[in-house]
Amino acid sequence: MKKFFLLLILVGTLGCGKTPEQKATDTISRANFLLTTRQCQEAINILEALGRQTSNPNYIVTLASAYACKAGYSSTTFFAQDISKITSDNSTFGGTAAMTTSDDAVTPSFYTDTKVTSLLTAINILLYAGGAIDSAEEPTYAKRLEIYGNDGGDINSFAMYLILAHLGKFYHYFGDASVNLADVANPATKAGGALAGTCMTSYTNAEAILAAADVDTYLSAANTGSCDSVSGSVIRAEINDSATNRRALLCQAIVGFNNLFELLPLVLADAAGTDLSTISGVTASITAVKTALTTDFTNGGAGAADQAALAATIVVQSQETCETSTTINLRSLEAYFLLLVESTFK
């Protein structure tokens, strides 16, 4: 009889084993608890140990939150303090440079900085559905919709917020920004930092695709603030012509904007009446840039290969594709960077 009862207890114990879904739910709950006290790495550890739950949107958002936490990002702070610094006026979109996560020290370089890489990891987890979408594919809304259906709304929204945070870091560092939060309209000033920089990168290659006269005219017409000439600019060494990771860095900003361009109207449609209305005009600003690239500037005499390069650059949403594509070239990257990134921080 004793053996019988012991057998029942054993069977009952084994029968209480958790299903994979229960394990995932418990791990997500534990990770979220850790994140309340900003134990970011601990949350990352238990979530990654579980294995990527690519079909579980709650897991994806929590894992991205853990990496964003490691980067110093807080959604509470984003909505309470940062979103109001971004406006629909593209000349003050550089207000992202004044966000609370933007002025963190960068060591030893932007490309390898732990907070920057953690933030990009969080963004990629969201965009690529934790790895369900291959890194060489374009991480489009349609592909995430196939995986998550309407449950992907939080993923899209969170990705957009983190992209804005990354662009803010990018603007602050490469735009050599100084911050004055008392100036509500222009909380960040380009080239106001210790570097006394003027342009965010070099545009000598862009002259080959847009025509030198077009580039010089554009820079000298107050379109890019203190960046008013191709020569004579003080530019951070890691994004200058000969820098090893230059193309990757240009792609970070361009890919960020291209994903933002797709996400913004979708997120705004789901968030009517919220504080996000302050940036509702950003889509129009990006559209204007794309139009300028495909009409006004390309009339400068760009050949078929460069026309194809521009067309590919305008739509690329994959960092890997942007960096490795044989169609996209430095000329097209610089041209798009000039009109999209440099011009939106004056």
pLDDT at 303: 78
Look at residue 37 in the predicted model and tell me its pLDDT.
Answer: 96
Query: For position 16, what pLDDT does the model report?
Result: 54
Query: d(Cα 46, Cα 27) in Å, to the nearest integer?
Result: 7
Domain ranges of the chain: 52-72+81-344
- The whole-angstrom distance between residue 168's C-alpha and the CA centroid of its chain comes to 9
Give the pLDDT confidence of 182-234 residue by residue, as tens digits: 887 788 889 998 888 889 999 988 888 777 667 888 888 888 888 988 876 78
Query: Is pLDDT larger for residue 136 or for residue 18?
Result: 136
Contact residues for 179 (Cβ-Cβ < 8 A; gap 6+):
97, 98, 102, 103, 172, 187, 188, 189
Pick from 318, 338, 96: which is nearest to 209 by CA? Answer: 338
The pair of three-digit structure tokens given for residue 55, joined into one six-digit string: 């079909």
pLDDT over 90, % of the chain? 57
Calculate the average pLDDT of the chain. Answer: 87
Hey, which of 1-15, 193-207, 271-285, 293-307 has the most confident mean pLDDT? 193-207
Contact 57, 148 (CB under 8 A): yes
The whole-model pTM stands at: 0.90
- Can you read off the two tokens belonging to residue 63? 């894992």
190-207 as b/e, with b when 16 or more CB fall inside 10 Å? Answer: bbbbeeebbbbbbbebbb
* pLDDT, tens only, 239-254: 998 899 999 999 999 9
pLDDT at 9 over 50: no
Kindly tell me if the per-residue pLDDT of 91 is higher than 70: no
Encoded amino acid at 233, one letter: S
pLDDT at 5 over 70: no
Displacement of CA 75 from its chain's centroid (Å): 15
- The more confidently predicted of residues 225 and 126 is 126
Maximum Cα–Cα distance across the chain? 97
What mean pLDDT do residues 307-315 have? Answer: 90
Per-residue tokens: 287 = 């559209």
Q: Residues 136, 318: contact at Cβ < 8 Å?
A: yes
Distance CA 259, CA 266 (A): 11
Which candidate, 79, 161, 166, 162, places its Cα nearest to that of 116?
Answer: 166
Tokens 């559209």 correspond to what residue?
A: 287
Nearest to 91 by CA among 205, 258, 273, 221: 221
